[in-house]
Amino acid sequence: MNRVFNFSAGPSMLPVPVLEKAAAELVCYGESGMSVMEMSHRSPDYEAIIQKTQADLRKLMNIPDNYKVLFLQGGASTQFASVPINLIGRTGKADYVVSGQFSGKAFKEAQKMGYDVRCIATTKDDNFDHIPTITADMVRPDAAYVHVCYNNTIYGTKFANVPDTGDVPLVADMSSCILSEPVDVTKFGVIYAGAQKNMAPAGVTVVIVREDLLDYCDPKAPTMLEWKTMADNDSMYNTPPCYTIYMLGLVCEYLLEQGGLEAMKEKNVKKAALLYDYLDSQDYYIAPVKAGSRSMMNVTFVTGNPDLDKKFASEAAKAGMKNLKGHRSVGGMRASIYNAMPYEGVAALVEFMKKFAAENPKA
């Protein structure tokens, strides 16, 4: 099997045991006589799959009973509109933290819809090289919610601690860090995440919402964007993304077998430390993110020379390390080291970085 180390930010690599199990069950799932791709979502076989997926996700994340788990479509980007649609009715206003591209898009989406939304903090003027400090006194006491992007895939930053928003519910886009470490769900009103980074192939979006927040939806909202409708119908108001939910279930099974999120955090800390320690020990590569705001999942770096950056990504791909090119909006390099990336992959990258630096001196 000739697999590469895939550093893609998403869709990203999946655990090989998960892929192997999916392959074994592709044509015929259990005794059903059909593939999961072919099943009716109303069949007993599929109902058992989706119920077990939710139960295992709840176990992994220690999700309390007073939170609903929804399996939706449209990616996290659809939730940029769904969040204000479903929550703005609490008070009619909301506060946003803009710490990168996706939180900026979420803010603009809420503005576009004509709601009373306000940016309370941003690091745009610093090229999003750190996470802004948030304190409760910055938040409007009558805000319906405060929205943050917990991990910024493009810039490689992450909230080191849950921001203090007082009594105002905190909403977090966790697309690129969910399942990488334990998180106290009770500190959030809503957590949402696209699957294609750490959970499953692209196609399903997970929304974890506290039950008391389900009654504030804008009455003019499209039915498909109403969380309460989806919660009341167990995510089956329409046909859900059946196969990707099944894949999420396999990933949850795998993570539980590995020891859960505490075990994943231990592995992820070691991987990130290996790469950041090397970056901090030399001066050929520049790590733009300030200490204290660094992502454990997405590590960004540059040489300072766009031509060298391009050469680096190209030669790394030839050496079996693909998708290291940084996002088109910022350039440079980005190593996304999600749960499925083994320590050996990060070690191979560090050795390649040393070799590249020795063979390509800067002018």
CATH number of the domain that residue 341 is part of: 3.90.1150.10
Which pLDDT does position 330 carry in this prediction? Answer: 82
198 neighbors 339 (Cβ within 8 angstroms): yes
66 and 210 Cβ atoms separated by less than 8 Å: yes
Whether residues 104 and 216 share a domain: the answer is yes
Domain count, the chain: 2
| Pair (286, 252) in one structural domain | no
Query: Is there a single domain that holds both residue 230 and residue 265?
Result: no
Residue 10 placed within a domain: no
Q: How far is it, in rounded angstroms, from Cα 220 to Cα 320?
A: 51
Q: What is the pLDDT of residue 328?
A: 80
215, 236, 257 - which closes a domain? 257
For residues 141 and 22, membership in a common domain is answered with: yes
| Residues facing residue 333 across a β-bridge | 301, 325
Specify the CATH number for the domain of residue 192: 3.40.640.10
Q: How far is CA 187 from CA 166, 169, 170, 210, 287, in A?
A: 10, 8, 7, 10, 31
Sign of the dihedral through C-alpha 212, 166, 298, 307: positive
pLDDT per residue as tens digits for the range 242-282: 999 999 999 999 999 999 999 999 999 999 999 999 999 99
What is the token pair recorded at 134? 């948030």
Task: Give CA angle at 84 (80, 85), nearest 5°.
Answer: 105
246 with 277, same domain? Answer: no
Strand ranges (E), the chain: 5-6, 67-72, 93-98, 116-122, 146-149, 151-152, 157-158, 170-173, 190-194, 205-210, 298-301, 321-322, 333-336
Looking at residue 149, its pLDDT comes to: 98
pLDDT tens figures, 228-246: 999 999 999 999 999 999 9
| Structural domain contains residue 91 | yes
Cα separations (Å) of 153 from 36, 158, 266?
31, 9, 20
CA atoms in the 13 A half-sphere facing the CB of 256: 16
Q: What is the pLDDT of residue 1?
A: 61
Residue among 22, 59, 15, 4 nearest 338 (CA): 15
Q: Do 317 and 209 reside in the same domain of the chain?
A: no
Phi, psi torsion values for 318, nearest 5 degrees: -65, -25
Q: What is the C-alpha to C-alpha distance for residues 302 and 309, in angstroms, rounded to an integer?
A: 7
- Whether residue 11 lies inside any domain: the answer is no
The pLDDT score that the predictor gives to residue 363 is 75
The confidence score (pLDDT) of residue 136 equals 93
Question: Distances in Å between the alpha carbon of 237 and those of 68, 194, 225, 227, 266?
Answer: 15, 19, 11, 11, 39
One domain, residues 89 and 101: yes
Among the three residues 211, 236, 257, which one is the final residue of a domain in this structure?
A: 257
What's residue 86's pLDDT? 97
Domain assignment present for 159:
yes
Considering the domain architecture, whether residues 32 and 78 belong to the same structural domain is answered as yes
Contact in structure between 227 and 70 (CB atoms under 8 Å): yes
For residue 353, give its domain range: 260-359
**Same domain, yes or no, for 228 and 338?**
no
Tens place of pLDDT for every residue, the chain, 363 residues?
Answer: 689 999 999 999 999 999 999 999 999 999 999 999 999 999 999 999 999 999 999 999 999 999 999 999 999 999 999 999 999 999 999 999 999 999 999 999 999 999 999 999 999 999 999 999 999 999 999 999 999 999 999 999 999 999 999 999 999 999 999 999 999 999 999 999 999 999 999 999 999 999 999 999 999 999 999 999 999 999 999 999 999 999 999 999 999 999 999 999 999 999 999 999 999 999 999 999 999 999 999 999 999 999 999 999 999 999 999 999 998 878 899 999 999 999 999 999 999 999 999 999 987
Residues 228 and 297 in one domain: no
* 257, 275, 302 - which closes a domain: 257
Q: Are 61 and 173 found together in one domain?
A: yes
326 and 245 in a common domain: no
